[in-house]
Amino acid sequence: MPDSTHIDRIRRELPATTSHTYLNTGTFGPLPTCAVQAMQQRLQRDLQEGRLGMASFEEMSSIYESARQGVARLLNASEDEIALTDNTGEGLNIICYGLAWQPGDEIITTNHEHISLLAPLYQIRARYGAVIRIADIGPNAERPALKAVADLVTPRTRLIALSHVTWTTGARLNISEIGSMGREHGIPVLIDGAQSAGAIPIDIHALNVDFYALPGQKWLCGPDGTGALYARRESLNYVTSTYVGYWSAEDAHATEWKLQENARRFELGGRQTAAIAAQAQALKWLEETVGHQWLYARIAELNTYAARTLQTVPGLHLLTPHPGESGLLAFTLEKGTPEEIVTYLREQHNIYTRTIPEMNSIRVSTGFYNTEEEIDTLARALSEYQPASS
């Protein structure tokens, strides 16, 4: 049985989860009170004291360091392997544009990728004449990814880029196998961690991947404009920084230009420090108050419960191949369109979900803060739904 006292405490610290039935963390996670307070405190400090002087700069540097350390602990990485970004897409672009592309070079990805990953690949194809090869992992991402990817590897393959957890159905791909294969062939592996970071346990070194981009605003419950990029020390040589700035340099005031010898070479200049303060605080809250292992287990447990419960709804077809492997669950309903159903759930029952247009489906996120009762309410609402045209 879940620890109801712990869940109640968590929900009190996430006010949005009591204002709505919040089943869309895969788009935006709810903000904890402590993160908003950290943001307000930083802005108030800037308002009252200004942003000048060494003390202000040192405090800003400390906030950035705290955020990097929080991400490093989440991934079981070292702090110097973490660069701060504004979102997942920024991290993906940093790596994609950092390779020395030649016409005919090949990129392998899958048929279940989000536009945040596909967009830089499309641009590289248009700009450099690279070739994108699509590994078919099945209509619901149910097929083994290793074979689908391995079958496409050629001497021209320069990058393998794919998701850890697919945004379409919540399938968890066996990234460690692909990472190992990439190392065997000398091909860097870039991971879109938008639906995995904060939702499933990640031991980044055990995954054998080279680069891993993640957002702060989804499962990590941080504010907009936060994220991070993991860059394996031994893989830095694959990438040349496209954009550089103050933080990129080993010594920004030296006469000789030299990049940082770690992931911070991918950072530019100042960011919204208040948002970074909130990111660091949210990461600390998840680690110390919620508990990483507890939240991973809770997300998986609730995902399994949701799959079992929703399958009792007449006409509902589950698309997620292995419920419990992530925090996402996708399904179709025979009556009505996904857009109509999502609108009905929101307007008639205050339940927030989303559509996946590429799959013509509906997706729910089972956050660590959700309850079985909320899943039961969702199932009843879906059972009662009648299309307006019926």
Residue 1 has pLDDT above 60, yes or no: no
Query: Can you say whether residue 72 is alpha, beta or left, with left for phi > 0 and alpha for psi between -120 and 50 degrees?
Result: alpha
Residue 219 has pLDDT above 90, yes or no: yes
Query: pLDDT tens digit string along 244-261?
Result: 988 898 888 888 999 999
- Give alpha helix (H) positions in the chain: 4-12, 16-19, 33-49, 54-75, 88-96, 115-128, 145-150, 175-185, 273-285, 292-310, 338-349, 372-384
> How high is the pLDDT of residue 248?
92
Residue 191 confidence class, pLDDT cut points 50, 70, 90: very high
Can you tell me the distance from the alpha carbon of 68 to that of 81, in angstroms, rounded to the nearest whole number?
Answer: 9
Q: Which residues contact 317 (CB under 8 A, 6 or more apart)?
A: 331, 332, 333, 334
Q: Token pair for residue 117?
A: 């990953």
CA dihedral for 175, 177, 180, 186, sign (positive or negative): negative
Residue 186 burial (CB count, 10 A): 9
Residue with token string 């869309």: 24
Domains of the chain: 4-31+291-384 (3.90.1150.10), 38-281 (3.40.640.10)
The one-letter amino acid code at 135 reads: A
Mean pLDDT of 134-142: 98
> How high is the pLDDT of residue 389?
64
Q: Token pair for residue 87?
A: 């979102």
